[in-house]
Structure formats: structure tokens, C-alpha cells
Amino acid sequence: MSTAISISSLVKTFGSVRALDGLDMTVATGEVHGFLGPNGAGKTTTLRILLGLLRADAGEVTLLGGHPWEDATELHRRLAYVPGDVTLWPNLTGGEVIDLLGRLRGGLDPKRRADLLERFDLDPTKKGRAYSKGNRQKVALIAALASDVELLLLDEPTAGLDPLMEATFRDLITVESHNGRTVLLASHILSEVEALCDRVSIVRDGRIVETGTLAELRHLTRTSVEVELIGSVHRLAGIAGVNDLQVDGTTARFAVDADAIDEVLRHLTEIGVRSLFSRPPTLEELFLRHYRHDPSSR
Amino acid sequence: MKHLSGTAPLVRFILRRDRLVLPAWVAALTIVPATTLSAFAELYPTDAAVETAARAFSSNPAFRAMFGPVFEANLGSLTAWRASIVLVIVGVATLLTVIRHTRVEEETGRRELLGSTVVGRHAPLTAALIVAVGANALLAMLVASGLAAQGQPIAGSVAFGMSMAGVGIVFAAVGAFAAQITEGAGGARAIGLSVLGLAYVLRAAGDAGGDGLTWLSWLSPIGWANRMRPFASEQWWVLGLLLGLAGLVTVAAFSLSARRDIGGGVIAPRPGPAEATSFAGTPLGLAWRIHRGLLVGWAAGFAVLGSIYGGVAEGVGDLLKDNPELLDIFERLGGGADTIIDLYLAGVMGVLGLIAAAYAVQASLRMRVEEESQRLEPVLATSVGRTRWMAGHLLLALGGPALALSAAGLAVGVTYGAVSGDLAGQVPRVLGAALAQLPAVWVLAGVAVALFGLLPRLSSLAWAGYGAVLFITLIGALLRLGQWFNGISPFNHLPNLPGGEAAITPFVALTGIGALLVASGVIGLGRRDIG
């Protein structure tokens, strides 16, 4: 499997602020990679370095086999970018902006453009200042998706879209992925990442704190269990691997460490199980695990 | 009164946001008349010297066009005359302040955020006007004290301060009115500045064009301010004209504001094309769309300016008929009526050059506007490189002023040529004289481009540089600080054309400096972070 993006020990400082602090990330060709993190964690800075808009202070970055700063214009023919905060020219219509960005990139498919306009239900004759936030976002999305490129860099692309359009966006990305395109999706909308991404990197304070497939990440955290027991519920208290135990009559709720599941289940059958409901950790729980224990950080 | 609730906190909010800009322009405008007075006091220590200077100044048509008439031979009157450029600047500053706190707020959507709180529908406009009027009242007091402190009569000092404030308040009202018309702040600024430009040209034409045309000056608020005659038996009632006009325009602005939607304008937007033309899909095509309105507006304004300046040129020669003594001087210098007209035209070209430089700075800073509004980012994320993107903007920022100056040069040449019956002779030499301003204009554009490339956060300092050049070019010579000081302004290196000797060296040197500055900006942008 070849690599579309490879970043190692990336550092970027703005004055005294260290926005990226040794960030490592690899995106394989053809995968949809989720880039998760709260506001200010360094997602946009990373994307801007990938686009050659910012110069890295230290570290190695390879994008589609090239150097993002040195080879910017050649690389940009092969990728499309959707910024998180889309501003349009007040006196240009949405249709003109789509054509403009497409042509500056090296051409766009008029049939696909028409199809996307219809699917996103966008009026291309309105001037830039007349569009709402969601519609400005659609302009940028159509401009990016109408081009035939290898890599899509998306920075919180669904901000401002309504749920219907969000679903359209998901369908489109799924199709793009089937067609072999690589997607780097920076987001803090966990359900979106969960639905679309093959692999995920979680960034915190300019560093990747977790990376892997969702299945791999789930192994790192606890499974929630809700169980109704025949025997005494209080026998659960002493078992290693059982956390956050809550007891309500004969029902117990708790979280189990991934490596203790087998052991805990053995204990449960010993006590006697009437019903059992277990849920793998959601991405949200994974995410919170990395942010919860240090409330003072950004 | 419920429409005004929230005005007081908004006033404080505006003052807080403008805590640097507002004091800066009030201070700059206070310093100009005070410095002019002290320079004149040193330059003309005796009554006889003042008398001679006043006569020389008022008989020079170029000076009359630039600064207006000298009403009486005393130091105060001379100061009010020479410093009258502040009347234009106070108009620009106040106009832009009002538009910035009204239409710009609406266009960016910040007004909506405020509108959802307890803020009456007229409160933002009222607050902006209160700040504008307050700043002008403060300015009037400071200017008056600055002059009176140097021993000038109180009445004249107060009259001059008030004439400035009067013009400022008129253009505060014009700004408030223009802000109601268009959805975009750019359009509102264009309307306001056009009115200001027209007011200046009417005054210039009226004052330079001989007795038959003085009524033109009476059509202009700037002309009214002169005609308050500070230090020359003040005509206080003229202040009433200024305040009356301001009041009327303000009422009109409020009645428009009461009728329209927030965010909307009086002129409704039309839908545009669904697809871009093939030209628009190039970096130059995009730059053209960004600069188009600016270029067309400036070129049209310059054409109007030029035709008025050119139209009164023949009348300038009449000044000599009434003044045989002066005719004698000119004849001894080897010329006659033609020489004095050339002198006037050269002065006009100097003014046009200074105005074109403002356009050049504004157009060059469009690149920073694109960057700050984050519209540059998606463009650079395509296969357009930084230099190629910049090339499109530079072509328009450097070529636009050339086009505007050509329009003005042609207009002066055609109107003056038609009146004097020498079209074929005048058009090329006047057009050439207009274009001779370009190297100096490009130096100022170069400063803006270099700042944008090397110190992007300080880009707007280009306006401070422009202000300094304006001051040195118009007032600098009076300060007698030496050649080096006057030499800071690129305009002081240009030969007086038409009529003067067209030496090649200054053109080459200034163009070279401009090119170096632009090149450093291009290199700077290639190396720095975007955003």
C-alpha cells in the first residue's frame, strides 16, 4: 500500500505558541482518514502546511510523493481543498467561483458540476455576499468534488450544512472513496468520521495521541455493559477490570477494560445472568478519554 | 425613542474599536495647520514679506486650483489657504469612519449580531454619526487652539477650525447616506468619495478659472469652507450652509434607513451568470473581477476631473490681462499667457499624480484584503502559484493608475485643446505630462507591495507613507528642513510638465526604485506564511 501523506515530527510555532509539536501522521493511498481534534488542536495548521501555505519549522512532510512547499503548484493539480471557513468574493456568483477554482486547478467536469449543483440544491446565479454559511460551504464542496483529483483535503466540510445535505455529502465521499480517491477529513463531528473513515488520527495540542482503525482504537478503551443478574449484584465490586460500577436493584452498569472482558464474563456467568447488553466504545468516548483528564488544556 | 435604544453603548464600542485610528487622524489634521502657520511666520517675518507672498500665491493659477484663493494679506489667511488640503482629508477620514461603522458592519453580518440584542434600528447609524460629529468638534477646538496659541486672532482660529469641522460633518452625513444605497461597502465608499471628488473639483475650477466661474466654488461644501474667510473678515453665516446641508442629508439618510431591510440596500442586487467566462478562469481574470469596479470608478472620476480642469485652463490666462505687472514678469521669463497656463497645467498634473497614488496604494492593498478575508487560501490551493497570482494583481495595481492618469490627461488635453483651438498640439503634450507622474505613483504602489510581501501585518502603514508624501509634497517646502526632507517625496523629483525640461534621470531612477520595491514584495510573499 503506497502512502499519500506522510508527516513526521512536524513542528510549527506562531510567536510563542507551539501550534504543532512533533506531529506524526500517515495517510495511505485510497483510504478515508479522519483527522479528529477539538478547535485549536492544530488540524487547520496541518492542512495549511500540506497545502504549502505555511512553511514547517521542523519535520518531514511528503504529499503525493512531493514536497508541499517546493512543489506546491504541481501537487495542487492533483488535489482539491475545502477550507473550514469559506469566504467568497462579494461580486462573483457561486457558479463563477466554482468554475474559477476548478479551472485554476486545471479543469473540471461540466457534467459532474451540473450533477453536483442539483444534488446540493444550489442556485449558482446568486452573488457571493447573498449566500448563507451553508451555501458558501456548498460552493466550495462542489468546486472541489467536480474536479478529477487524487486527494481531497477537507477541513470541517459539513459545517453549516443541514442534515439532508450532510447525508448527500456522506454519499458522495463514499463514492469518491470507492473510486480510489484518498480523503483527509478534518472534523470534530464524530458521527461523520465514524461513518466515513477507514482510519482515524486524534490530535491534541499539536500532537497525534492516537491513530489506527476504529476497531484498533476500540481495543484501547472500555466496553460498556448493562447486566441484570440472578445472584447478588454486590459480588461484582471486587472483580478486577470492572470500572464505574453503578447498581440499581438487580441491574448493574459498568465499563470493562478491553483486556479483562473474558475474565469479567466468567465471573458474571458464575453469578448468573438474566439479561446482558453490551456496547462497544463510541468514538466519542475514545475522544473524551484523551481530553477529559486534563480540563485545563485547550 | 425606542429606535435609538442602545446608542450610548454603541458609541463607547465605536470609540473602543477606533481607539488608535480616530486619535491618529485627529492629531495629524491638528498638526498640519499649526505647522504651516509656524513655517509661514518664519518664512515671512515682516508685513511686507507677507504682502508679497500673498500676491504671488494668489496670482498663481496652479496654486489657486490646488488650495483656493488667498483672501487677505496676513499670516492667518495665508495659513488657512495653504493648509486647505486638510478640508479634503477631514472629509475623507470622516466619510470612511461613518461607512466603516455602518455599511461594513452590515456587510460582514456583525450588525445582525448586534441587531438581535436591545439595539434600536437607528442606533448604529446614530452612534456612528455621534462619534463622527464629536471627533470633528474636538478637531475644531484643537485646530483653533493650535493657531490661537501662536498668537493668531481668536475669531479667525475658531473660524478655521469650524470650517474643517463643517466639511467633516457634511461628509459624515454623505457617508451615512451612501451607506444606505448599496449592499456592499465598496459601492458606498465609491459614492461618498465621488461626491467629495466632485466638491473638490468644483472648488478648484471655480477658484482657478477667473471671475466668471467663481459661482462653481459656491456649489461645493469645500468652497463654502474657504468662504467662511478665516482671518479675513469672517463670514460666519456660511457655517450655517455647511450645517444645514449636513442636516438635510442626515434626514435623508435616516428616512432611507427606516425603509430598508438590514443588510439590504436601496439598489437591489441582480442575479449573475451561472457560469464563468473563459477569461474569468485565469488568475488575471480573477484579478480583473476584483479590480474592475475600482478601475472603472477611478478612470471615470479622473476623466471628469480632467475635463473640468482642462475646461477652465483658458480662463487662467485671463488672470494676466488684469495684472500687467505679472504679465511683465512672465514675458521676461520668456513666455506669456501660454507660460502661465502651462504653470497651471503642471500644478494640475501634480494634483492628479497625488490622487492617482492613493488609487495605486488602495489597489495594491487589495492583495492584503484578499489574504485577510481568506479568499487567497483556496486560490493558492489550486495549481496557481504565488507569483502568478500576484502578477495579475500587480498588472492592475500598476496599470490601473496609468489608465486613470491617461483618462485625466486625455480629458484635460481635449477640453483645453478644444477651447484653445489647438487640439492636435495640446493632447499629446498634456497626455505625456499626465503619464510623467507615473514613476512617482509606482514608488508608492511599490511601498504597499513591499509591505504586503515582507511585513503583511503592517500593510496599512502604506497609507501612513502616503500621508507623509502628501504632507511633504504640499507643505514640506515651507518647513525649510533642507533638500533631503523634500526629497523623501518622489513627486518632488519630477520635472514640471508641461512646459518644463523633461529630464530622463528622475523617471529612470523612480521607476527603478518602484521596481525594486515591487520585486522585494514578490520575493517576500514567496517565502512567507499565508494567512
Give the burial string for B320-356 (b: 16+ CB within 10 Å, else e).
Answer: beeeeebbebbeeeeeebebbbbbbbbbbbbbbbbbb
User: Chain B partners of A79 at a C-beta cutoff of 8 Å?
Assistant: 381
Task: Report the chain A residue with the minimal C-alpha distance to residue B184.
Answer: A90
Which pLDDT score, from 0 to 100, does residue A298 have?
40
Sort out which chain B residues have CB atoms less than 8 A from A98's CB and list them. Answer: 276
A214 or B68, which is more confident = B68
Cα(A108)–Cα(A92) distance, integer angstroms: 18
The residues that bridge with A17 in the sheet, in sequence order, are: A14
Strand-strand pairing, A151-155 and A273-279:
unpaired
For range B488-492, the mean pLDDT: 95
Q: What is the bridge-based pairing of β-strands A58-63 and A3-14?
A: antiparallel
For an interface test with A, give the residue of B105, B106, B275, B288 to mutate (most A CBs within 10 A). Answer: B275
- Identify the closest residue of chain A to B386 by CA–CA distance: A73
Q: Most A CBs within 10 Å: which of B288, B291, B380, as the mutation test of the A interface? A: B380
Contacts of A80 in chain B (CB under 8 A): 381
Q: pLDDT digit string (tens) for B214-241? A: 899 999 999 999 999 999 999 999 999 9
Best to test chain B binding among A91, A111, A125, A153 (most B CBs inside 10 Å): A91
CA distance B367 to chain A (A): 13
A93/B272 CB distance under 8 A: yes
CATH of A222-280, one of 1.10.760.10, 3.30.70.260, 2.40.50.140, 3.40.1360.10: 3.30.70.260
B265 CA to chain A: closest CA distance, Å? Answer: 12
**CA-CA-CA-CA torsion sign (A126, A129, A134, A138):** positive
- Least confident segment among A19-33, B336-350, B448-462, B477-491: B336-350
In chain A, alpha helices (H):
43-50, 72-76, 94-105, 110-120, 133-145, 163-178, 190-196, 214-219, 261-271, 283-292
Residue carrying C-alpha cell 489574504? B371
Which among A97, A103, A131, A151 is the top mutation candidate for probing chain B, defined by the most B β-carbons within 10 Å of its own β-carbon? A103
Of A72, A96, A104, the CB nearest to B272: A96
Instruction: Look at B383 and A73 and tell me if their CB atoms are within 8 Å.
Output: yes
pLDDT at A295 over 50: no
Mean pLDDT value across residues B509-526:
97
Residues 6 or more apart whose CB falls under 8 angstroms from that of A45 comprise A12, A19, A20, A54, A206
Burial of A104 (0-12, 13-18, 19+ CB in 10 A): buried
Query: Which of A48, A80, A104 lies at the smallest CB-CB distance from B531?
Result: A48
Long-range pairs, B386-392, Cβ under 8 A, ≥24: B386/B525, B386/B526, B386/B530, B387/B522, B387/B525, B387/B526, B388/A73, B388/B283, B389/B283, B390/B521, B390/B522, B390/B525, B391/B283, B391/B284, B392/B282, B392/B283, B392/B284, B392/B285, B392/B286, B392/B287, B392/B288
Residue B45: strand, helix, or coil: coil
Find the CB nearest A124 among B274, B280, B382.
B274
Q: Which residue type does B174 have?
A: V
ipTM score assigned to the predicted complex = 0.80
- Cα–Cα distance between B190 and B188 in angstroms, integer? 5
Q: What confidence score (pLDDT) does residue B270 get?
A: 81
In this structure, of A118-122, A225-229, B511-515, the range with the lowest mean pLDDT score is: A225-229
Span B346-361, average pLDDT = 93
Domain ranges of chain A: 3-218, 222-280
**Facing A93 at nearest CB: one of B274, B379, B381:** B274
Put simply, the answer to whether B384 touches A91 (Cβ < 8 Å) is no
Q: Could you give the C-alpha distances from B205 to B1, B217, B300, B337, in angstroms and in order?
A: 44, 7, 18, 18
Q: Tell if the CB–CB gap between A83 and B378 is shorter than 8 Å.
A: yes
The 3-state DSSP class for residue A182 equals strand
- Cα atoms in the 13 Å half-sphere on the side-chain side of B136: 32
B120 with B89: CB under 8 angstroms? no
Smallest Cα distance from A144 to chain B, Å: 10
For B378-422, the pLDDT digits (tens) are 999 999 999 999 999 999 999 999 999 999 999 999 999 998 888
Task: Give me the residues paired with residue A203 across strands.
Answer: A208
* Interface test mutation site (partner B, options A17, A44, A96, A139, max chain B beta carbons within 10 A): A96
Whether residue B63 has pLDDT greater than 90: no
B288 vs A contacts (CB less than 8 Å): none
Residue A297 has pLDDT above 50, yes or no: no
Q: Give just the sign of the alpha carbon dihedral B249, B252, B258, B261.
A: negative
Q: What integer best gives the mean pLDDT of chain B?
A: 90
Q: B531 to chain A: which residues are within 8 Å by CB?
A: 48, 53-54
Which residue is closest to B185 within chain A, CA to CA? A90
Fold agreement between A3-218 and A222-280 = no
CA A22 – CA A40 distance, rounded (Å): 16
State pLDDT tens for residues A157-186: 998 899 999 999 999 999 999 999 999 999
- Cross-chain Cβ contact A76/B383 below 8 Å: yes
pLDDT of A40 above 80 = yes
**Cis status of the peptide bond prior to B230, with omega within 30 of 0:** no
Largest pairwise CA distance in chain A:
73
Residue of B nearest to A117 (CA): B274
Chain A CB contacts of B293 below 8 Å: 91
Assess whether pLDDT exceeds 70 at residue A148.
yes
Closest by CA position to B454, among listed B363, B524, B506: B524
* Contact (CB<8Å) A74/B383: yes
User: Which chain B residues touch A97 with a CB distance below 8 Å?
Assistant: 276
Residues of A in contact with B387 (CB under 8 A): none
Chain A contact set for B261 (CB, 8 A): none
Is B143 in contact with B160 (CB distance < 8 Å)? yes
Residues of B in contact with A128 (CB under 8 A): none
- Sequence letter at residue A143: A
- Give the position of cell 449592499: B183
Task: Pick the residue from chain B with its C-alpha nearest to A57.
Answer: B529
Is A127's CB within 8 Å of B269's CB?
Answer: yes
Across the beta sheet with A17-28, the strand order is: A17-28, A3-14, A58-63
A106 contacts in B (CB within 8 Å)? Answer: 382-383
Going B496 to B501 to B502 to B507, the CA torsion angle's sign is negative
Of the candidates A54, A86, A93, the beta carbon closest to that of B273 is on: A93
Interchain proximity A53–B271, CB inside 8 Å: no
Distance (Å, whole) CA B390 – CA B453: 10
Q: Which amino acid is at B528?
A: R
Residue A1 has pLDDT above 60, yes or no: no
pLDDT of residue B333: 59
Q: How far apart are the first and last CA of chain A?
A: 35
Amino acid at A182: T
Contact B379 A91 (CB under 8 A): no
A-interface mutation test, from B375, B387, B527, most A Cβ less than 10 A away: B375
The pLDDT tens digits for B254-281 are: 999 888 877 777 777 788 888 888 777 7
Cross-chain Cβ contact A93/B183 below 8 Å? no
CATH number given to A3-218: 3.40.50.300
